[in-house]
Amino acid sequence: MTDWRHGIKHVNGIRLHYVEQGDGPLVLLVHGFPESWYSYRHQLPALAGAGYRAVAIDVRGYGRSSSPVAVDAYRMLQHVADNVGLVKALGEEQAVVIGHDWGAPIAWNSALMRPDVFRAVAGLSVPFAPAGDTRPTDAFRAMGGAEEFYIEYFQQPGRAEAELEEDVRMWLLGFYFTASGDAPRPEPSGTVATIPHGGHMRDRFAYPSPMPDWLTDEDVDVYAGEFERTGFSGGLNRYRNVDRDWEDLAVFRGRAIEVPALFVGGDKDGPTIWGQASIERFPKTLPRLHRSIILPGCGHWTQQERPTEVNDALLDFLKSL
């Protein structure tokens, strides 16, 4: 940890906090929900040791980065602009961008819209899925069936916050474990991805006993400490822009990502499982795909559950560029 260097850059009208390690070609690491730069704690030293300048950010709305009040401040266009601005503020012209969970769509779209800045891209857990003709909230409503799909549950400001912030540490622990490859697999009628009307996400959480090898009490303390200070609205506001993104990015609909790409998912992870159709389209949507790797027994927290395998995949990809 002593080799981690914390920094702040003012870009795109906000403050972005980042942690970096190493020197060399820039690799930008973008986290998802509900995490922080800390989710790349295993990747920073591995990338630095291989000769790269690894920079893990707190996405806007998280940690020590700015948390704008307006919901539309979290639209995809702003996240891409944050990444572009940070690369330049770090004194670089180009970077490889890597993203997990919501960070994956941010990374995919950064490479799609600004291939001049992002020379290669890797997505963890969430495959590249070009927007279709259906408005996202309509699609999510259909996915929920008789219940609410979790992204639909997140739409109303303040509603999910009331659940998540009641006991931050317990909610995070339950969510992390339930979405991992170590949790018992729920019955289809009891999936954590949907919520009974009037219910809560936590009603279907499982809790570890003992803690899994990849997640310690100290790790949960780090995450809980951040969200107890910041709350969850910044992270949840990303979900509240799905329709706005669909409209903003209409001009890119149907376009392939033309830079080299890598995907790593887990076979026990919901987004990877739901994304099979998108993965099958990779020859068209990612014509310069290096590899698509599905890790057996791995859940959603790819780079934390399987750090050695993810690091090996990332380094193999970076060496191929």
Q: How many CA atoms lie within 13 A of 13 on its CB side?
A: 7
- Cα separation, 146 vs 279, whole angstroms: 28
227 SS3 class: helix
β-partners of residue 265 are 294
Residue 277: how many other CB atoms lie within 10 Å:
9
Q: Phi, psi (5° rounding) for residue 306?
A: -130, 60
Of 82, 101, 182, 269, the catalytic one is 101
Quick check: is 101 catalytic?
yes
197 SS3 class: coil
Per the listing, tokens 């279907």 go with 204
Contact 44, 15 (CB under 8 A): no
Chain centroid to CA 208:
23
Counting Cβ atoms within 10 Å, is residue 127 exposed (0-12), middle (13-18) or buried (19+)?
A: buried
Quick check: is 100 catalytic?
no
Of 31, 79, 100, 300, the catalytic one is 300
- H-type alpha helices, the chain: 43-49, 76-89, 103-113, 136-144, 150-153, 159-164, 168-178, 217-230, 233-239, 242-248, 270-274, 276-280, 282-285, 302-305, 307-320
Catalytic residues: 101, 300
